[in-house]
Amino acid sequence: MKDESFPLTQPSDCGQSRDEIAAEIADHLVAAEAEMTKRGATTDEAQAAARQKFGDVEKIKQTCYWIQNGETIMLRWTLVSLAAVLCILLGLSVLGNWRTQSHLADEMGKLSAELIALAAAKQPPPPAPQPPEITGMIYAGSKDKPVAGASVAILRGDGTVVRRTTCDEKGNYHSGPLEAG
């Protein structure tokens, strides 16, 4: 199976690329000088005309180097930048998780201490249940006309009298504590 992934130029190849570019430019200059010499120019005139026609050699070397290796260089910097951003995000995530865990541990410690204190504290006993009692008001026709001193009989379900009481001056009565049943 053929590897179709993008080949990265090894760092040792960059020097070779510079040498290849310099050799290619020198070859172009020699070819231009030879053509000028065939036309009848002297060697010095042919060299000067070839350099003038070719342009700034250093600038052309840099441009050719960038054309040949620029994609690899940009890809490397992109990958390095992406790796740096991912490392920063991973670091922030780890820091955030660490802070959350330490905060939760502190809160759990406080909650445990509160629960221990609550368990150790003696709870007051619940109030004793009050025996049943019957209260009410006796009035004649409306609540505005209370009956004072009326006799009230408290009966069981079978009709036996459990207790007798009288109303106060406002018509209110209280049976007092009664036995269950």
Which is more confidently placed, 77 or 22?
77
The pLDDT score that the predictor gives to residue 115 is 92
Other C-beta atoms lying within 10 Å of the C-beta of residue 135: 9
Q: State the pTM of this model.
A: 0.39
Give per-residue pLDDT as tens, 166-177.
Answer: 899 888 988 888
Mean pLDDT lowest among 36-40, 54-58, 90-94: 54-58
The distance from CA 39 to its chain's CA centroid, rounded to whole angstroms, is: 76
Amino acid sitting at position 64:
C
The pLDDT score that the predictor gives to residue 12 is 47
11-18 LR contacts (CB < 8 Å, sep 24+): 14/69, 17/65, 17/68, 17/69, 18/61, 18/65
Give per-residue pLDDT as tens, 101-138.
Answer: 999 999 999 999 999 998 888 888 888 888 888 888 88
Q: Evaluate if residue 83 carries a pLDDT over 90.
A: yes
Q: Evaluate if residue 92 carries a pLDDT over 90.
A: yes
